[in-house]
Chain A
Amino acid sequence: MARMKFLCDADRCIECNACVTACKNENEVPWGINRRRVVTLNDGKPGERSVSMACMHCTDAPCAAVCPVNCIYTTADAVVLHNKDLCIGCGYCFYACPFGAPQYPKVGNFGSRGKMDKCTYCAGGPEADGSKEEFEKYGANRLAEGKLPLCAEMCSTKALLAGDSDIIAQIYKERVKTRGYGSGAWGWQTAYHESIAT
């Protein structure tokens, strides 16, 4: 099985936010929730870089480890998914996540946050692949159709890569070698305890 990851080549990202829009449209993400967002560092200054960030589908995922009801699980493709029927909306995954991925449809007063929502790597949830229930709760299941997440698939500069870890790391290494610079695989050290040597 493949080890699915995201890799954002910050030297290519032009902060167009197409990945954000694609994600919202493909998954019909609830109002107020951003499963993916683009963060700009040093905005307007020398050394500006933009990074498209979503759930990184961590190795030894912190959200899954701290969930009091054990509703978060890792699939055979190393995608981190969750079961909204079991989620109690306690907020622990959201405290543990290094990437701010888990979000809640309600504001959170008096602990009524609603069911957690986050990026599913366009891989749906525990319901039958491609079912209506799955789509309503989690959005598209492109992975089951043999397709990669739409955010990466439609990235205009091919900054955002999705796919097997070894393959996307190889692509990134070649890019860095060819152009002579690269700011690194953002979030990899925190998410996977490894980086890409370039």
Chain B
Amino acid sequence: MAKLIAAIRFIVGALALAFMVATVTPVPVSAQGGPTAATSEQQLMQQLKGGVIRGDVTIPDKKAANLIHPAGRNWQTFNTVTMKWIGGIAILGMVALLVIFYLWRGTMKIEGGRSGRTIVRFNGFERFVHWLTASTFIVLGITGLNITFGRVLLLPWMGPEAFSTWSEWAKYTHNYLSFAFTIGVVLVFLIWIGQNFPTAADIEWLKAGGGMGKGGGHAPAWKFNAGQKLLYWFIVLGGAAMIISGYMLMFPFYYGMGIGDMELAEVFHGVVGVLFIALILAHIYLGTFGMEGAFEAMSEGTVDLNWAKEHHPLWVEEEMGSKGAGSARTQPAE
């Protein structure tokens, strides 16, 4: 027990320390005062350990009181080196994985073939919410990637003038579409939260590898399987992180935000953003040519009954059980 407490204390302490190191807190130099106050740049830099050297100004713009903010140099390295590596590995790595997976597994067929009967999977409103979020996400993703990779990939062949014009429009599009995306994420959260709490079936699904291995094998699932639930929670929580950090950048210096806070917000926005894109690439693959009969769930709102029985057996039982076969919820194919 004592060991456990010691371990917890260590973890909490380490987290607190990491947090303190991560947040670049401006130390007001004037507060140090006294005859021993540091008056040379070197002394101050040593005392502040990379923090902001801040004084007083007589002009109205109090932000100008930050004299030196050395962390800008680290942020430079992050953007010119680290961010490009993270983004490149996450996105190209995911594309490579999906290609390998496709070559190995091929399109996952409906094993029993099409039954000719369909069942309603997503109603009109659900599909509207999905496509609202999806379409804005794609535009936000492309215009966001432009900020990190455009200078390297597009600028050389577009030329400076055309690239600047495109980037300025991309920036405005990114900023304004964020509101539609925010509405989309909030609605996604609200309409599907009921079906996204973990259940016992999720453990079985994960143990069976989602039935994605060769030769299928079946994994139980309600309306959403464990993989979809993980995706749901990433969209809700990751989406919230993107929205909050994005608005921090769109409204600079609000609520006492310092430049260090905005730098952190940008780092966060970039890293979560590329992970988000990588995850959605996998989602798009599985929803289109990765799996037969999946795309119609979001295009027409109905799926083949055999598809539903194979991938979401518990959900079908629930639907059929409560409504009865041949009820209004299922309909013969025309």
Contact of A42 with B30 at beta-carbon distance under 8 Å, contacts A88-B167, A110-B176, A186-B68 already known: yes
- B314 part of interface (Cβ distance < 8 Å): no
Q: Cβ of B12 < 8 Å from any Cβ of A?
A: no
- Is residue A183 within 8 Å, beta carbon to beta carbon, of the partner chain? yes
Chain A residues near B171 (CB-CB < 8 A): 88-90, 111
> Measured between alpha carbons, how far is A190 from B51 in the docked complex, in Å?
12
Count CB-based A-B contacts (< 8 Å): 177
Contact A65 B68 (CB under 8 A): no
For the complex formed, measure the closest distance between the CB of B68 and the CB atoms of chain A, giving whole angstroms: 6
Interface size class of chain A, counting residues whose CB lies under 8 Å from the partner chain: 35 or more
For residue B53, give the distance in angstroms from its CB to the closest CB of chain A. Answer: 7
CB-based contact B64/A110 at 8 Å: no
B11 within 8 A of A: no
B65 touches A45 (CB 8 A): no
Contact between chains at B67 and A51 (CB < 8 Å): yes
Does B56 contact A39, Cβ atoms closer than 8 Å?
yes
Tally chain B residues at the interface, Cβ within 8 Å. 63
- Residues A42 and B151 in contact in the complex (CB < 8 Å), given A95-B266, A100-B63: no
Instruction: List B residues at the A interface (Cβ < 8 Å).
Output: 29-30, 32-35, 37-42, 44-45, 53-59, 61, 63-73, 75-76, 79-80, 146-148, 150-151, 155, 160-161, 163-164, 167-168, 171-172, 174-176, 249-253, 259, 262-263, 266
19 contacts between A and B (CB under 8 A): A34-B59, A34-B64, A39-B67, A41-B39, A45-B30, A45-B34, A46-B33, A68-B151, A69-B164, A70-B155, A86-B161, A89-B168, A96-B72, A96-B79, A98-B69, A183-B39, A184-B42, A190-B70, A195-B42
Additional 6 contacts, C-beta under 8 A, given A39-B65, A88-B168, A111-B249: A39-B66, A62-B75, A66-B79, A88-B167, A89-B171, A92-B147
